[in-house]
Structure 1
Amino acid sequence: MSLNAILRSSALALAAVTGLAAAAQADTYKWITFKPQGAGDAQAITTQWLVDQFAERTGGKHSIEVFWGGSVAKTGEIPEALAAGVGDFGDIITPYFPDQMPLNNAVGFFIPQPMNTLQVGQFMEEMHATYPEFSQELESQNLHAFGFRPLEDYGLLCTKPVKSVADMKGLRIRSYGFAYPKLIEALGASPVSIATSEAYEALQRSIIDCTPIGPALARGWKYDEVAKYYIEVPLGASFGHLLAMNLDSYNGMDDETRAVVDQLGKDYLVEYARVVDEDAARVRELWKGDLGVEVIPFPKEELLGVLDDAGVKEVRQEWIDKANGLGVPADEIVKRFDFDTPS
């Protein structure tokens, strides 16, 4: 082979290697979500905020493409799809996977509890920073949580006024998850298992009288069209979603990009909590107007009085036993759910 041919071949090889290196550095990651792009709620809005921030903070070197509305994986499929590498990022509705994620479902066993949206997210951040078992639970499934998305503060949206525990006797209240069935029974009402998507019709047709929910979500699902009483039962914020990554994708990032993701997870919680609070305040103003939803206070002491109920205690003990069995000091952690303990 002539010298020119050798040089030309070497130049082509170098160009190919350089091109591959550039391609490896300029990544487009895939985010799979159940949320519709046009939902216009805090979850969809802040997902787009995070995606935009990721591109900005990496100087345009990396980007995230969002596959909205379950187009790649449905709600119940997302953990498995993420673990298999079908997506790099995704949001997981944690309470849907109690057997896979018992530790990360801690808050769901302790309703009512005193923390708001931001505080619940900070609690989860603290758990992951303090107790490696929380992260290991996900790592065993090839997942990594880089952020947390709690739900808003919850009360009860009802089709009739409720002013005390006495008014709850005999009501049919939508139930789901761990704590709600026993809590509803302790309040003298009947728990009814209804999916979120079916609750509008259930309220409209008097299949249920109330559903636990916050103002922003009530407006988002339009439940407030058929239920006109919002009862300020201090249930606290529920933990909702993990902002998760495929563990291999996370570990495969360079240190700089991984640091961006880590910080974005923390910043996301603050931005999300701000948007949720603004949205809830906006809805409350709408309720005062044409929507005509009456907000009714509820005596906190009556709600807290049912915490001594055997069924409520049983649910809480269930998580304590699971956590202790996994080597986590549950007795210390559950103090955070005490209404007399500062968050």
Structure 2
Amino acid sequence: MTRTTTSALTLAFALIAGTAHADTLTYITYKPQGANDAHSRSLQWFVDKFAERTGGKHTIEVFWGGSVAAVGETPEALANGVGDMGDIVTPYFPDQFPLNNAIGFFIPQPMDSREVGQAMVDWHAEYPEFVEELSSQNLHAVSFRPLENYGLLCKDPVENMADLEGKRVRSYGFAYPALIEAMGATPVSITTSDTYEALERSIVDCAPIGPVLARGFKYDEVAKYYIEMPFGASFGHILTMNLDSYKALDDDTRAVLDQLGEDYMVEYASMLEAEETRVLELWQEELGVSVLPFPDEELTALIDHQGVQAVRAEWEDKAEATGLEIEGILAKLRF
């Protein structure tokens, strides 16, 4: 985002925020309020609980749907005080937040969604470099929103690795392009918003995703086979606060916010799991999506592929350059 854009956003938001009560924090998110998914519903839970636990002394006003900052602008917007809090979609910023994107360099990895969330909590508590990566950009992590376990949604059945030979697979980030090539398939870089059409028009044959997100983006309307590939859970979002705003809170309010961040992860995980159960039932009963098993060992064998190892080594080099002791982290990321 350019300096001019940041200044314009700051001015626009100042006009909005100027009408808010002095004890109102502002939250900016790309999520639409009417999405009715685990992300938006858990955020509303967070907002409601914050008001309840502060006895109404403090509230959070949410600006939904990217109305203040688009998803790609959020880190800089928050750092510059364009909103007190917001969602940072971490995988979109692997160079800006390499440590906090560790999981994105290690696909497949063995942790599920709850374990990924706990890993992020543990790493922030045990390794100051994770906190410093954010604080150096005037940001503070309030909580974490891991994504679900990912599989592969395809237009045709896939029973083993041989069936993926020559397939075109939607790709993004660092790990997936290398892993897809190791599968013998062709990675195709496509945005989330363009993937529906790409599947519909057979520009791509498959896309890595979880059931909840597949239903949310309606990919399951145009691709009817979900392959249970053991990619592990992806890490998604950091519920982030402007560091100056966080420090300006009184001790009691800061304690409420810290505890709420811990409780949020539990509530969000429960919502996500319930939503996945609902989607799987819809797939079986109404939407006609087949869930197919996949031989785990065929995927995990690809970890030794030169390209996959190169991506992992890239993260290790970046992490060690910060002074981070990486062995404890790698122990959770390796099969």
Classify the TM-score, shorter chain.
over 0.9
Q: Verify: 1:306 aligned to 2:311, yes or no.
A: no
The Cα shift of 1:55 comes to: 0.2
What is the CA–CA distance in structure 1 between the aligned matches of 2:62 and 2:108, rounded to whole Å?
34
TM-score by length of 1: 0.91
> Is the Cα contact below 8 Å between 1:109 and 1:179 reproduced in 2?
yes
Structure 1 letter corresponding to 2:113? T
Out of 82, 86, 92, the position equivalent to 2:78 is 82
What SS class does the counterpart of residue 289 from structure 1 fall into? helix
| 1:198 aligned residue | 194
State the alpha-carbon separation in 2 of the partners of residues 81 and 324 from structure 1. Answer: 29
1:188-215 deviations in whole A, cap 9, x for unaligned?
A: 1000001000000000000000000000
Partner of 2:51: 55
Instruction: Return the alpha-carbon distance in structure 2 between the equivalents of residues 99 and 183 of structure 1.
Output: 19
Partner of 1:111, secondary structure, is coil
Which string of whole-angstrom CA distances, capped at 9 and with x for unpartnered residues, describes residues 238-262 of structure 1?
0010100000000000011001111
RMSD: 1.1
Q: Quote the offset at 1:332 in angstroms.
A: 2.6
283, 288, 294: which one pairs with 2:290?
294
Q: CA deviation at 1:331?
A: 2.5
Supply the distance in 1 between the matched residues of 2:58 and 2:204 (Cα, whole angstroms). 48
- Other-structure match for 2:162: 166
What SS class does the counterpart of residue 59 from structure 1 fall into?
coil
Q: Supply the AA of the counterpart residue of 1:145.
A: A
Match of 1:219 in 2: 215
Report the CA distance between 1:106 and its aligned residue.
0.3
User: Matches of 1:29 and 1:189 in 2, distance apart?
Assistant: 47
1:45 aligned partner: 41
- 1:142-169 CA-partner distances (Å, limit 9, x unpaired): 0000100011110000000001001010
Matched-pair contact (CA < 8 Å) for 1:85–1:246: yes
TM-score of the two chains, using structure 2 as the length reference:
0.93
For 1:1-80, what aligned pairs fall within 5 Å after superposition? 27-80=23-76
Q: What residue in structure 1 maps to residue 318 of structure 2? A: 322
Paired with 1:156 and 1:180, the residues of 2 have a C-alpha distance of 12
SS at match of 2:143: strand
Q: In the alignment, residue 260 of structure 1 is paired with which amino acid?
A: V
Pick from 108, 120, 130 the counterpart of residue 112 of structure 1. Answer: 108
Q: How far apart are residue 335 of structure 1 and its match?
A: 1.2
The correspondence for 2:271, drawn from 271, 275, 296, is 275
Gapped runs of 5+ residues in structure 2? 1-20
Secondary structure (helix, strand or coil) at the match of 1:151 reads: coil
Question: Do the aligned partners of 1:90 and 1:245 also contact (CA within 8 Å) in 2?
Answer: yes
Q: Deviations 1:97-127 (Å, cap 9, x if unpaired)? A: 1221111000000000111111101000000
CA contact (8 A) 1:320 1:331 kept: no
